[in-house]
Structure 1
């Protein structure tokens, strides 16, 4: 028979449901997602094009189609054995087998009826598969309206056919486009077709839209906490406000309530967090234990910015005892800072208020209340010279009775004239600065070297020059390029006795290769190091034909022309200095998967290794990674530290991943941290099992007292799981497991997969 063609216009037809979800793993898409559908071209909105083997007109307002019925509109496509259309009543019926597909799902059913007046389609004996996300199921009756799929006596899962690890069976399931969530009534949750949980009402996400509800819990035992379980609850307060409330049960400590409130406005974004434990059963001498954290960034106007970062804890060992994602357990002080910044065309001004909460048996730091700094960002030009002016006004306080200076004000100005010549092959920089500082110190003692009013004026001269040489090379690469960048610096600052000035925000800077060419030895201006020295160094780099840097080596040393300028004559507290420091850094990236980085600081006169570090990284296909590292420091609070470590993540079978990390203290011949884990991830579910053994930190105990027999370790394991499509992340990253430890894995900058 020749195919007949019918064209019927239904202006009231408007049926659509959509959802967006985070991308699922590619391996799951092909087997568990319906192919994307798009309407035929040249179809008018609100109309249907119907093709069939036979058509019978029943008056002027209805028609019956039979034999390979194919119905297309801008909203859907339907294939059926037969169909009846009544335009006058706005009704449409089809008999199966039926295939229905729109932008959201592909559905097979035995029967279909639609009411175009109410924009509702009902499919009987339906089996559906979503196309914009993972998800499939069945229903005795599946109803589609403008915003929802409604399943009566239906099911839902994200598992592929033939491997249904979990599923939901419910009297009623609503998949809402507008809300972005699924609702179930009379729900039975099944694992391996075995009922494990019944809930009269349950919600789960079907898109990335936010909605209040419980998130995936985590639990596991440890020697420190006993059995631990955390059940986070997400509260979607408004589109720009939300909160997460997490009750955390620890058998040895009690129940801790953790909450985080996030906000976003036109000018401000931030979060406010509170962790509270009313009574710690393991520390009965303490009262309630808590952590408060507030972080905010503000764009007040085009020229004004502000930021706040405040963390406060109830006691010194809160972080080491209870952990927190808002501060590191090894920190000895918590920063509390507020900054207001003005960005002008010529000046940048910062007004900062800062103090510290000192943890453990350490001296209290000075608070800056306030500290105003101003920097000239657009220099004044005079012939070939540039003139700038930087400075600050600060007021410091420290109420500790052991301090001989309880308050101090500091005013510092630093005018600078600079001549800078740069060419392709070389550069030359000369600077002359005048460092003028005035102090007013409130002295709390009579027998002291400190003075109440001090004026200090010091000149500083800096001369720096660098050559940029380049040649072709075939070493390490073919058709590559090698650069050689020798540089030399002369620095002069006269010697001045500064022992009558307190130390408010000054400490020794790092002595690495890049620090050799700095123009100062200390942070802050409470100590301005004398200098009469030459620094000589060079860097060589090798670039591939594609201009990728595959190798660099930097080395340098400082030579002092006068004894008074030597660092050993300018020691700051107990920090040790060296008069003949050699520093070097190196990087080798000979393959896109391999990276070697190393650094060294060496005292030439004393023939003593000061610090060193080395890291070897490999990142292969299919989530393979290995990292080996070594670090050494001969003087950290009068202690020598030498540690080696290893990280690895290896796929051991399809969907299975093994991770492990090991850190060892060579100096004390003991392990510091051991972490291992096993991860399984499929299209519809994932599980992580990790075990750890970590050394415990006591901030009231000095490093030197941590002998091997006194070390305390925390051991335990943790289980995390997710049924994909019911909340939680859509995939796991094994590297995140490695980042959980004290010595977390860090991916080198140069490694690309």
Structure 2
């Protein structure tokens, strides 16, 4: 008899431990990750609570990134009971480590077969095999481990009643298997597992879940499963997916990827409901056509309209990448009697294509084509609830290039009206074609020469058409010190037009209708004028404290003088110019109009004052500014306001007082506000207030008030309130004072657990506007999303809606 717990050393490193390593069940239904050359991370299942908690999205960010899957609510150290935390986690040590065998009894009387029994323990580096009995033939490499077989390595735990096979042939059979993937949280069971060779294995009555061991809220079960490492494909037969032990999805046959290689197959189905199209159900099918291109086919069934087929094709070749989307529904059964053009009985479609191709050097060609069969398509079939806000589809193709001191483009843009309640006349002019050239050339460290140049042909049905050249060269200097700056700028703007032959048929607002209304009388009008500005400022600093915290306070007075002589521009058409909203940054702008059709005259002096509080790390915690423009000459350039006359020139000597305040003294709350008061009318023209407050780590409260005279007055409140670490309430309410109605109301609940997240959201929102805003059409939607962590989401659209609708949602 050999002594108790004999230790054998210096066995061939590939022997004995390979007994279990050869039958690691390849991660059961999901492939275990191969250990990297660096030390393996702490097992996912052993992560303590809170270790993978996600930091909150910074306050004030409009669109927070999606929250990565978190298993923080799982039980800490929810591992199979034989896990040994003292083992190394570096799989690269195996080839240089000895194999250590401990057993109560060892019998090797025939010199070829080792028979170990009594608490057998075989260990090498990160690998550990334990069993009641192990027989190993050193000549044939046959092995047989029986009784309470347990195997552990850096990425996996596995137990079985019996484990037998041949190490040289990489063949093995395990019975009554339990497994757990330490790096991807997958775990489950199999009645029988067989490793056919190093690349192929099969299993019977197998299960998989990412929930805690023994507490599977969701689980996939299959009658049989085959794993093929050479193709990266798993094939399951008779698979069911269960939630709370209730089967809800059955697939008699399906395949899935077991590694990062893409695989053709069905994706999760989606469903939804809306007033316009009824209940929708879709099940996409993914086609892995080649490593550099793929496609997705998505048949959808709409209860009120019929069957729609959607397709997506993506490609990536050297120097080019792009995507094509196409949707088609024949013979629409729905009724759009309220639309501008009824669509019942018609074929409806949507076409989208985008491509970016590198031409050579700094040049590339970008294309975006977006077209719909009719103006109601996006309202009726938009998958994303926010798609209903899109009123125009843009198609364009441009050659673009850029360098250190230049940028240029040449191409064309076209637009389609997809708002069923607005006339086509609201769509902007087509740019057919358009060319731009921008220069920014440094002459020395304080002086630069630049230019903004464009040439565009504007086209629009039943409107005046023509070509426009806009030249805008400038010289700009920048003198500065630690506490001051002086920035003079001198520019010259020349704008010339070549109108089409029927230009005399049009006045300020459109075609003549029998009455002479000041038609355009010059086919080649032009405008030329200089633009001069001087921007100066000082920066003072001092140390101060607030609420016991030390800050650096700045005081920054600023003067901005602008001179632009008046030019009569009534004979110039309006192709793309609009008056921009007046705000704080308009105090320092050389033009109050966008586009090039109008250049304001100016003899203005802006005075502004800003103060800031900076903490010891240089982070701005408070910023307050106030400013006003003093007009030494009236603003005479205006946009047309009717078929004959223009709006009267302003004779004000002062602009609105413009003030803004932004405060974030800590990471828990933030306030943003703006205010405009007119000394001329003694009325408030604009007011806004936004307050954001963090509630715990997962909650947030937002409140805002928006007012612009004669345009909008709204209250907007939204919140995410955590009831517990698992439950959160969601809500948003937008009320229009002018319309005396709710513009949007949203309410929902979100449940999060170790391996499942559920969201249910109801939404009521205005999607159209009639003659009066209060007569706008509204829609109701109910959204449901079920997320199986580690596997994906059913109907995964809710999170995008919430992230866009609730500021700070994650």
TM-score (norm 1): 0.88
Residues 1:623 and 1:473: Cα distance change in structure 2 (over 3 Å) = same
Is 1:154 equivalent to 2:213 in the alignment? no
Which residue number in structure 2 is paired with residue 122 of structure 1?
Answer: 173
Which residue number in structure 2 is paired with residue 539 of structure 1?
Answer: 610
Residues 1:443 and 1:473: Cα distance change in structure 2 (over 3 Å) = farther
Which residue number in structure 2 is paired with residue 570 of structure 1?
Answer: 638
Which residue number in structure 1 is paired with residue 55 of structure 2?
Answer: none
Which residue number in structure 1 is paired with residue 265 of structure 2?
Answer: 213
More off after superposition, 101-110 vs 419-428: 101-110
Q: Distance in 2 between matches of 1:179 and 1:653?
A: 45
Which residue number in structure 1 is paired with residue 39 of structure 2?
Answer: none
- SS of match in other structure, 1:501: coil
Residues 1:438 and 1:204: Cα distance change in structure 2 (over 3 Å) = same
Q: Distance in 2 between matches of 1:132 and 1:177?
A: 19
Which residue number in structure 2 is paired with residue 425 of structure 1?
Answer: 483
Instruction: Summarize the alignment of residues 108-187 of structure 1 with structure 2, pairs less than 5 Å apart.
Output: 108-144=159-195, 145-147=197-199, 150-174=202-226, 182-187=234-239
Deviations 1:320-372 (A, max 9, x none): 23324498422332222223222234432122321221343142422222222
Matched-pair contact (CA < 8 Å) for 2:577–2:597: yes
Matched-pair contact (CA < 8 Å) for 2:700–2:808: no
Which residue number in structure 1 is paired with residue 779 of structure 2?
Answer: 714
More off after superposition, 661-670 vs 503-512: 503-512
Which residue number in structure 1 is paired with residue 375 of structure 2?
Answer: 316
1:529 is aligned, of 600, 619, 622, to 600
Q: Distance in 1 between matches of 2:386 and 2:327?
A: 12
Residues 1:694 and 1:215: Cα distance change in structure 2 (over 3 Å) = same
Q: Distance in 2 between matches of 1:474 and 1:653?
A: 37
Which residue number in structure 2 is paired with residue 747 of structure 1?
Answer: 808
Residues 1:23 and 1:282: Cα distance change in structure 2 (over 3 Å) = closer
More off after superposition, 544-553 vs 649-658: 649-658
- SS of match in other structure, 1:329: helix
Residues 1:204 and 1:409: Cα distance change in structure 2 (over 3 Å) = same
Which residue number in structure 1 is paired with residue 553 of structure 2?
Answer: 482
2:349 is aligned, of 290, 293, 311, to 290
1:500 is aligned, of 542, 566, 571, to 571
Matched-pair contact (CA < 8 Å) for 1:32–1:158: no
Report the CA distance between 1:68 and its aligned residue: 2.5
Which residue number in structure 2 is paired with residue 329 of structure 1?
Answer: 388
Q: Distance in 2 between matches of 1:630 and 1:207?
A: 50
- SS of match in other structure, 1:321: helix
1:271 is aligned, of 294, 312, 323, to 323
Which residue number in structure 1 is paired with residue 52 of structure 2?
Answer: none
- SS of match in other structure, 2:597: coil
Q: Distance in 2 between matches of 1:191 and 1:371?
A: 57
- SS of match in other structure, 1:30: coil
Which residue number in structure 1 is paired with residue 442 of structure 2?
Answer: 379
Q: Distance in 1 between matches of 2:397 and 2:11?
A: 68
Residues 1:70 and 1:554: Cα distance change in structure 2 (over 3 Å) = same
Q: Distance in 1 between matches of 2:526 and 2:271?
A: 61
Report the CA distance between 1:520 and its aligned residue: 1.6
Residues 1:481 and 1:464: Cα distance change in structure 2 (over 3 Å) = same
Residues 1:660 and 1:201: Cα distance change in structure 2 (over 3 Å) = same
2:802 is aligned, of 722, 738, 750, to 738
Matched-pair contact (CA < 8 Å) for 1:350–1:372: yes
Gaps of 5+ in 1: none
Report the CA distance between 1:671 and its aligned residue: 0.9
Residues 1:73 and 1:150: Cα distance change in structure 2 (over 3 Å) = farther
Report the CA distance between 1:64 and its aligned residue: 1.7
Structural RMSD (CA): 3.2
Report the CA distance between 1:83 and its aligned residue: 1.2
1:257 is aligned, of 292, 296, 309, to 309
Is 1:101 equivalent to 2:152 in the alignment? yes
Residues 1:480 and 1:109: Cα distance change in structure 2 (over 3 Å) = same
Q: Distance in 1 between matches of 2:225 and 2:790?
A: 14
2:630 is aligned, of 559, 563, 574, to 559
Residues 1:296 and 1:573: Cα distance change in structure 2 (over 3 Å) = farther
Instruction: Summarize the alignment of residues 426-465 of structure 1 with structure 2, pairs less than 5 Å apart.
Output: 426-446=484-504, 448-465=519-536
Gaps of 5+ in 2: 34-43, 45-67, 337-341, 506-518
Which residue number in structure 1 is paired with residue 511 of structure 2?
Answer: none
User: How many pairs were matched up?
Assistant: 727
Matched-pair contact (CA < 8 Å) for 1:599–1:614: yes
Matched-pair contact (CA < 8 Å) for 1:204–1:727: no
Is 1:78 equivalent to 2:153 in the alignment? no
Which residue number in structure 1 is paired with residue 455 of structure 2?
Answer: 393
Report the CA distance between 1:500 and its aligned residue: 1.6
1:679 is aligned, of 750, 763, 774, to 750
Report the CA distance between 1:42 and its aligned residue: 5.7
Residues 1:209 and 1:468: Cα distance change in structure 2 (over 3 Å) = farther
Report the CA distance between 1:207 and its aligned residue: 5.7
Q: Distance in 1 between matches of 2:257 and 2:793?
A: 9
- SS of match in other structure, 1:320: helix
Instruction: Summarize the alignment of residues 600-611 of structure 1 with structure 2, pairs less than 5 Å apart.
Output: 600-611=675-686
Q: Distance in 1 between matches of 2:712 and 2:689?
A: 14
Matched-pair contact (CA < 8 Å) for 1:11–1:47: no
- SS of match in other structure, 2:299: strand
Report the CA distance between 1:513 and its aligned residue: 0.3
Q: Distance in 1 between matches of 2:442 and 2:611?
A: 32
1:350 is aligned, of 405, 409, 434, to 409
Deviations 1:54-98 (A, max 9, x none): 322243433222222222346842111221111221211111211
Which residue number in structure 1 is paired with residue 71 of structure 2?
Answer: 25
- SS of match in other structure, 1:694: strand
Q: Distance in 1 between matches of 2:318 and 2:97?
A: 40
TM-score (norm 2): 0.83
More off after superposition, 599-608 vs 224-233: 224-233
Report the CA distance between 1:437 and its aligned residue: 2.6
Residues 1:509 and 1:181: Cα distance change in structure 2 (over 3 Å) = farther
Residues 1:478 and 1:74: Cα distance change in structure 2 (over 3 Å) = closer
Residues 1:552 and 1:434: Cα distance change in structure 2 (over 3 Å) = same
Is 1:620 equivalent to 2:695 in the alignment? yes
Residues 1:19 and 1:181: Cα distance change in structure 2 (over 3 Å) = farther
Matched-pair contact (CA < 8 Å) for 2:241–2:250: yes
Report the CA distance between 1:561 and its aligned residue: 0.5
More off after superposition, 444-453 vs 422-431: 444-453
Which residue number in structure 1 is paired with residue 733 of structure 2?
Answer: 662
